[in-house]
Amino acid sequence: MDPQVRAYLDAVAASGIPPLPELTPAEARRNAEVAAPLLAGPPPPLDRVEDRVIAGVPVRVYAPEVGRELPVVAYFHGGGWVFCSLDTHDSVCRRTAATTPCLVVSVDYRMAPEHRFPAAVDDCWAVTSWLGAHARELGGDSERLAVAGDSAGGNLAAVMAIRARDARMPLRHQLLVYPVTDCDLDTESYLANATGYGLTRDGMAWFWDHYVPDPAARRHPDASPLRAGSLAGVAPATVVVCELDPLRDEGVAYAAKLAADGVPVRLIEYQGMIHGFIRMYAVIDRSHQLGAEIAHAWREAFTT
């Protein structure tokens, strides 16, 4: 385990915060909002950051510069479809916009349990399809459009790539950071990393119970994209997984399915890392390494 990860986990344990399954969604949301700025540190400045509504969905637009059309990334935040927000992922989006450079559109999709599956999918698709036709209204280039997300947001990004293929809407790339790709909680990584590393197996069961209470519905490809019949023709992908993450194996399996279906894919495996570290710039140095790898992937995708 990375020593900075160990220090972070020890600090969380010492805080006395109850395990996720013992919290209400409202309590979990408050905890996430309080912790986010402490983990992220100060974000980089940008020329323009604007809250607006696209296709009925609140979004935040990040522009590192003005005066020319930039490639566009639709970003879907993590949080198990239950918590996190535009604010918790503000630093991720700012850094992505600044280092690529690109226009980032962060999507404030509806959350469970108030709005269960497929509400989040519908909101993300409403924004993604709008960007495919209207990105120039924001100063973006609709011909250089990509999707991205972490955890539950990675799940949504993967689903968007499948929907875009089916709608014949070209995407340049999909970035899936430790994504949820399946509802199976009995993989080797789920059992090996069930407790002790932040995200737990019981915590993921809590998320699924709020998002898709019906076990049969969880097997739908819009909830578990690993169960899609074929991924042939979806956008090229970068998939990031962490060694000490219950979701590791389903991320690896999704990358393998992409490759088997003829989709160019790069799998990045972070040893000694835990779920959620993309937002921990102030406490885990390797989050900056991940940010650099993400920026490199975007630059390659948008220049080819």
Q: Which domains are present in the chain?
A: 3-303 (3.40.50.1820)
Is 182 in the active site?
Answer: no
pLDDT digits (tens, 9 = 90+) for 145-203: 999 999 999 999 999 999 999 999 999 999 999 999 999 999 999 999 999 999 999 99
Terminal-to-terminal C-alpha distance of the chain:
37
In terms of Cα–Cα distance, which of 139, 137, 159, 163 is closest to 148?
Answer: 159
d(CA 125, CA 4): 37
d(CA 188, CA 190): 5
pLDDT digits (tens, 9 = 90+) for 274-303: 999 999 999 999 999 999 999 999 999 999
Helices (H), 135-224: 152-166, 188-192, 201-211
Full-model pTM: 0.97
- 20: number of Cβ within 10 Å: 21
- DSSP track, 79-117: STTTS--TTTTHHHHHHHHHHTT-EEEEE----TTTS-T
d(CA 22, CA 217): 25
Strand-pairing partners, residue 73, are 104, 146
Distance (Å) of CA 43 to CA 54, 89, 92, 124, 254: 24, 10, 8, 25, 31
pLDDT digits (tens, 9 = 90+) for 252-264: 999 999 999 999 9
CB 247 within 8 A of CB 205: no
Is 275 in the active site?
Answer: yes
Mean pLDDT of 20-24: 95
> How sure is the predictor about 44, in pLDDT bands with cuts at 50, 70 and 90?
confident
Task: Give pLDDT, residue 145.
Answer: 97
> How sure is the predictor about 106, in pLDDT bands with cuts at 50, 70 and 90?
very high
In terms of Cα–Cα distance, which of 152, 165, 151 is closest to 234?
Answer: 165
The residue annotated as part of the active site, out of 2, 90, 150, 245, is 245
The residue annotated as part of the active site, out of 77, 89, 220, 275, is 275
Task: Give pLDDT, residue 16.
Answer: 87
Task: Give pLDDT, residue 268.
Answer: 97
CB 277 within 8 A of CB 287: yes
- pLDDT higher at 231 or 44: 231
pLDDT digits (tens, 9 = 90+) for 213-248: 999 999 999 999 999 999 999 999 999 999 999 999
Task: Give pLDDT, residue 82.
Answer: 98
d(CA 99, CA 225): 29
Is 106 in the active site?
Answer: no
Contacts 24+ apart (CB under 8 A), 63-67: 63/97, 63/103, 63/138, 63/139, 64/97, 64/98, 64/100, 64/101, 64/102, 64/103, 65/101, 66/139
pLDDT above 70 coverage of the chain, percent:
100
The residue annotated as part of the active site, out of 151, 189, 224, 287, is 151
d(CA 85, CA 88): 5
Measured at the CA of 235, the angle between CA 229 and CA 241, to 5 degrees, comes to 80
Task: Give pLDDT, residue 68.
Answer: 82
